[in-house]
Chains A and B, each alone.
Chain A
Amino acid sequence: MNILGLLPYWIVVFLMMTGFYVVIAQSNLIKKIVGLGIFQVSVFVLYILLGETTGGTAPIMAEGFVKYNNPVPHVLILTAIVVGVATTALGLALIVRIQKSFGTVEDDEIARNEGSW
Chain B
Amino acid sequence: MREKTVLRVGSKFLIPFVLIFALYVQWHGDFGPGGGFQAGVIFAAAFILYALMFGAQTTRKVMPPWLTRFLLCLGVLIYSGTGLLGMYLGGNFLDYFVLASDPVTGQERGILWVEFGVGVTVFAAMITIFLTFAGQDTEQ
Contact = CB atoms under 8 A, between A and B. Distances in A.
Direct contact of A and B (CB under 8 A): yes
A82 B37 contact: yes
Given A78-B37, A82-B122, A96 B136 contact: yes
A111 interface: no
Interface in B11-47: 31-33, 37
A86 B125 CA distance: 9
Interface of A: 58, 60, 78, 82, 86, 89, 92-93, 96, 99-100, 103
Q: Which 10 A-B pairs have the closest CB atoms?
A: A89-B129, A82-B37, A96-B136, A60-B32, A78-B37, A99-B140, A96-B133, A60-B33, A82-B122, A92-B133
A116 to B, nearest CB: 16
B24 to A, nearest CB: 16
B1 to A, nearest CB: 22
Contacts of B132: 93
Contacts of B133: 92-93, 96
Nearest to B136: A96
B51 to A, nearest CB: 16
Contacts of A100: 140
